[in-house]
């Protein structure tokens, strides 16, 4: 692949560390998503690997979510390929047999939040400037049902309903209070804590933990698998609307203006 987005390392403990490295903000482009899914598949098939810690190599940003330029002014074929790659990434991560720990060392809106939500445990740097949440509504777009299902499974229906409707990005302390992240630690302790949590989860017999995880997540995973093509059609029809294209363009302009 042209851009090296990820680094992987499997230690003697059977734990891989995956670091997102796609400057400037780890946005989830088609290339990034494809590389991420392939990396997950390789780790999944590697018997030496029992767990993965996902973090960012960039300062202040875990991931800025789906790459908005992939959803602006592109062909139907491109939207199809892109959305299939988003689905594939989620099916692999949410359905992983490995223990997955997100070490959230920066802001994590929308698709970035989905990645963290799809892990078994989330530890975030206790910096109130870092925020996390499914903010799709703020862009004038709607989080798909499987983003919503993943969110509900973590924080419960009421918190998810309010947070999704408002497109809230929660500063780290609030995210912790809502249960969106499991723990806050000083940024310099993040990886040490992630390794300790990982060791705790890996102390259990794999088969019992894996079957329990499958039992908890299967219904939500099966729902997307059963409606995958319909979900792609919905995405294309939604994102192709001129009103949605306009919202996305305006949002990108707002991001650029913010700088100047
Ligand atoms: C239609 C069905 C549902 C589809 C579901 C979609 C889910 C999604 O994930 S949508 C994406 C939602 N993401 C966001 O709302 C995040 C937007 N970005 C930010 O809020 C900020 O960039 C940041 C907090 C992540 C980082 O702020 P910082 O000040 O450090 O950097 P910036 O100057 O804002 O950005 C640098 C550079 O990157 C571009 N960029 C940022 N985010 C994205 C993105 N998600 N996709 C594409 N490009 C992005 C930004 O425009 C800047 O570009 P330039 O340097 O060219 O100006």
Mutate to test the pocket of ligand 1, among 22, 25, 237 (most ligand atoms within 8 A of CB): 25
CB 21 within 8 A of CB 29: no
11 given a catalytic annotation: no
Residue 22 domain-assigned?
Answer: yes
Largest CA distance in the chain: 54
Pick the residue whose CA is nearest to atom 36 on ligand 1: 24
106-109/60-61 β-pairing: parallel
Treating both helix axes as pointing N-terminal to C-terminal, what angle do 145-155 and 206-226 enclose, rounded to 10 degrees? 140
The single residue of 35, 70, 88, 136 carrying the catalytic annotation is: 136
Mutate to test the pocket of ligand 1, among 64, 104, 135 (most ligand atoms within 8 A of CB): 64
111 given a catalytic annotation: yes
Indicate if ligand 1 lies below 6 Å from the C-beta of 51: no
Rounded Cα distance between 176 and 229, Å, is 35
Q: Give me the tens of pLDDT residue by residue for the chain, a chain 260 residues long.
A: 434 356 677 778 899 999 999 999 999 999 999 999 999 999 999 999 999 999 999 999 999 999 999 999 999 999 999 999 999 999 999 999 999 999 999 999 999 999 999 999 999 999 999 999 999 999 999 999 999 999 999 999 999 999 999 999 999 999 999 999 999 999 999 999 999 999 999 999 999 999 999 999 999 999 999 999 999 999 999 999 999 999 999 999 999 998 76
Structural domain of 68: 6-189+198-202
CB 98 within 8 A of CB 157: no
Residue 226 domain-assigned?
Answer: no
Of the candidates 168, 61, 57, the residue with the CA atom closest to the CA atom of residue 108: 61
Nearest atom within ligand 1 for CA of residue 239: 1
Helical segments of 28-70, H only: 30-44
pLDDT at 3: 40
Mutate to test the pocket of ligand 1, among 255, 256, 257 (most ligand atoms within 8 A of CB): 255
Residue 252 domain-assigned?
Answer: no
Nearest atom within ligand 1 for CA of residue 65: 9
Residue 216 domain-assigned?
Answer: no
Tally the residues of the chain: 260
CB 86 within 8 A of CB 66: yes
Residue 50 domain-assigned?
Answer: yes
Of the candidates 55, 95, 51, the residue with the CA atom closest to the CA atom of residue 200: 51
Indicate if ligand 1 lies below 6 Å from the C-beta of 24: yes
66 given a catalytic annotation: yes
Q: How many structural domains is the chain composed of?
A: 1
Question: What separation, in Å, do the N-terminal and C-terminal C-alpha atoms of the chain show?
Answer: 33
Residue 247 domain-assigned?
Answer: no
Buried b (16+ CB within 10 A) or exposed e, 17-44: bbbbebeebbbbbbbbbbbbbebbeebe
User: What CATH number does the domain containing 121 carry?
Assistant: 3.90.226.10
Distance in Å, CA 64 to ligand 1 centroid: 5
Of the candidates 95, 143, 91, the residue with the CA atom closest to the CA atom of residue 120: 95
The single residue of 66, 91, 139, 224 carrying the catalytic annotation is: 66
Residue 258 domain-assigned?
Answer: no
Global ipTM: 0.98
Residue 171 domain-assigned?
Answer: yes
Indicate if ligand 1 lies below 6 Å from the C-beta of 132: no
Q: In what order do the strands lie in the sheet with 121-125?
A: 6-7, 15-20, 51-56, 99-104, 121-125, 183-185
pLDDT at 9: 73
């Amino acid at each position: 692949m042209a851009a090296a987005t990820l680094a992987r390392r499997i230690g003697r403990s059977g734990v891989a560390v995956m670091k997102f490295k796609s400057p400037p903000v780890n946005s989830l482009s088609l290339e990034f998503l494809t590389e991420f899914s392939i990396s997950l598949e390789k780790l999944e098939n590697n018997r030496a690997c029992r767990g993965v810690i996902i973090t960012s190599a960039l300062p202040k940003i875990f991931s800025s979510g789906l790459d908005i330029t992939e959803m602006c002014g592109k062909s139907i074929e491109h939207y199809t390929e892109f959305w299939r790659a988003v689905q594939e990434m989620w099916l692999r991560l949410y359905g992983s047999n490995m223990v997955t720990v997100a070490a959230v060392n920066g802001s994590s809106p929308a698709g970035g939040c989905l990645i963290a939500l799809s892990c078994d445990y989330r530890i975030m740097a206790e910096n109130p400037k870092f925020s996390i949440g499914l903010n799709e509504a703020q862009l004038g777009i709607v989080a798909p049902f499987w983003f919503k299902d993943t969110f509900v499974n973590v924080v419960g229906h009421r918190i998810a309903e309010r947070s999704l409707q408002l497109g809230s990005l929660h500063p780290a302390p609030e995210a912790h209070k809502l249960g969106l992240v499991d723990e806050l630690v000083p940024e310099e302790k993040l990886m040490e804590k992630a390794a300790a949590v990982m060791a705790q989860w890996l102390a259990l017999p794999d088969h019992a933990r894996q079957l329990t995880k499958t039992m908890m997540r299967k219904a939500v995973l099966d729902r997307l698998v059963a409606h995958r093509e319909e979900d792609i059609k919905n995405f294309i029809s939604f994102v192709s609307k001129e009103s949605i294209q306009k919202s996305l363009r305006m949002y990108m302009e707002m991001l650029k203006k913010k700088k100047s």
